[in-house]
Amino acid sequence: MDIRIYITYTLVFFGMYANAQQVLSTEDAVKLTLEHNYGIQIANNAIEVAENNTSILNSGYLPTLTGNAGAVYNIDNTEAEFTNGEVAVLDGAESNRYNASLNLNYILFDGLGRKYNYKQLKEEYQLSELQARETIETTILQLFSVYYTVAQLSENTEALEQTIVISRDRLTRAGYQFDYGQSTKLEVLNAEVDINNDSINLINAKQQLKNTKRDLNVIIGNQLSELFDVDTDVNFLFQLNKEDLLAKTKANNVSLLQIEKNIAISALDVKINKATQILPAISLNGTYGWNKNNNNAASFVAVSTNTGLSGGLNLTWNLFDGGGTLTRIRNSKINLENQKLQKEQLLIDIERNFNNAWDDYQNKLIIYQVQEDNIKTAQNNFDRTQEKFKIGQVTSIEFRQAQLNLLNSELSRNQAKYDAKLAELTVLQLSGELLNVEL
């Protein structure tokens, strides 16, 4: 099949394909991701587990109640000598015993360990919320990275399609000029080579676009068919203030908030270990029991049945356990100190990362603005070159160079636009504002 016919069919097919596609907005993409992304769902389930752990049922403040029951059956060969000198011999004498009881145990005081354990569980619940937030922020940033890659490839594809239209017109013009003796066959061949190269670039771009759309669909939980487009309009938050965002970074950065929770958990761990060493534990226990014995003939009592209620207090004091508790206290203090040191290190790292991200964002905004100006220049140059080409004042090589300059300017502009937006999102993530602003 002639390459030009193939290209025509390809463009017609993809034109029909594009017209049938729905536009996936950033808002809808975020909504679908929050609802269907598997990583986010797993993180939310982890929050539920942590919430269950903070329930009163897992606090240690409720008593325990257990029931016991048992039965014993005996067959004995017994020889019994009584005080009056009589001797009784029993072969296969049967006896059995039955018992049942309810046992209640309640810890009245455990040296404050239970109190600190419960506080620690609450801190761990809040930590799990922060971990889920980090997962969501990371996933949303990944979503936008792929989303804007789709947008960039979509715009690149449009630019390549426009390039092919121009190249096709040039090929037609070269053919007419050759037919009327105004140019050589070389001009026609050059035009054919260029349109073939442009068509290959377009085919590759379309395939890359389809692959990236599949990547985007995976992030949102495979909720869309391949028949969708994305919004290529980008709005920048030019009102962002560096000092305000830096203050928010130090107050709301999710990594900093997590290390603060770990410090609180480590501090409670020290208190828990101290509580078990310094203070005693007091517990209340009670039992209601029933026992029945069916004795053999050698016993003085044939059948006995007992029911009763008993209760008591137990005091346990770990006066010395060989040094194990003391070692745990020392190690928990060291761990707490390490957590504090990690926070100081993290503060330095995050401030550096924020400043780097902010400068990168500002630079990419400038580059985008320069590329916007550059594309105007390239378009103006191409339009003038095209006019001169039509009247034979420039060569096909000069015309092709102007065409490539325009295409490269469009591709560079597209790259700069989405690079700047992703740099902006990185700044927002570091400052903890990614989920708080309208993107």
Superfamily of domain 3-36+110-280+322-430 in CATH is: Outer membrane efflux proteins (OEP) (1.20.1600.10)
Neighbours of 331 (CB within 10 A): 13
Please, is 62 exposed, middle or buried when counting C-beta atoms within 10 Å of its C-beta (0-12, 13-18, 19+)?
exposed
Q: Which pLDDT score is estimated for 15?
A: 47
pLDDT at 1: 39
Dihedral angle computed from the Cα positions of residues 336, 251, 35 and 140, in that order, rounded to the nearest 10 degrees: -100
Whole-angstrom distance, CA of residue 260 vs CA of residue 344: 11
Burial class of residue 81, CB neighbours in 10 A (0-12, 13-18, 19+): exposed
Q: What is the per-residue DSSP string for 289-330?
A: EEEEEE--TTSS-SEEEEEEEEEEEEEE--S--TTHHHHHHH
* pLDDT tens for the 439 residues of the chain, in order: 344 444 444 444 444 444 457 899 999 999 999 999 999 999 999 999 999 999 988 888 899 999 999 998 888 777 777 677 777 777 777 778 899 999 999 998 888 888 999 999 999 999 999 999 999 999 999 999 999 999 999 999 999 999 999 999 998 888 888 888 777 788 889 899 999 999 999 999 999 999 999 999 999 998 887 689 999 999 999 889 999 999 999 999 999 999 999 999 999 999 998 887 788 889 999 999 999 888 776 666 778 888 989 999 998 888 888 888 889 999 999 999 999 999 999 999 999 999 999 999 999 999 999 999 999 999 999 999 999 998 889 988 999 999 999 999 999 999 999 999 999 999 999 999 999 888 7
What is the chain's length? Answer: 439
Residue 375 per-residue DSSP state: H
Angle, alpha carbons 245-250-255 (nearest 5°): 110
Determine the longest span between alpha carbons in the chain, in angstroms: 149
Residue 406: CB atoms within 10 A of its CB come to 24
Report helix, strand or coil for 23.
Answer: strand
The number of helix segments (H) and strand segments (E) in the chain equals 9, 6
Q: How far apart are the first and last CA of the chain?
A: 47
**285 near 311, Cβ under 8 Å?**
yes
What pTM did the predictor assign? Answer: 0.85
Q: What is the pLDDT of residue 338?
A: 96
Among 23, 38, 29, which Cα is nearest to 439's? 29
Q: Give the span between the Cα atoms of 361 and 334, in whole angstroms.
A: 40
CB 196 within 8 A of CB 171: no
| Contact between residue 292 and residue 97 where contact means Cβ atoms under 8 Å apart | yes
Residue 279 identity (one-letter amino acid): L
Do residues 399 and 385 lie in contact, with contact meaning Cβ atoms separated by under 8 Å?
yes
Query: Quick one: tokens of 306?
Result: 């007992």
Chain CA centroid to CA 137, Å: 7
Distance CA 428, CA 439 (A): 10
Do the beta carbons of residue 146 and residue 273 sit within 8 Å? no
134 in Cβ contact with 49 (< 8 Å): no
By the 10 Å C-beta count (0-12 exposed, 13-18 middle, 19+ buried), 144 is classed as buried
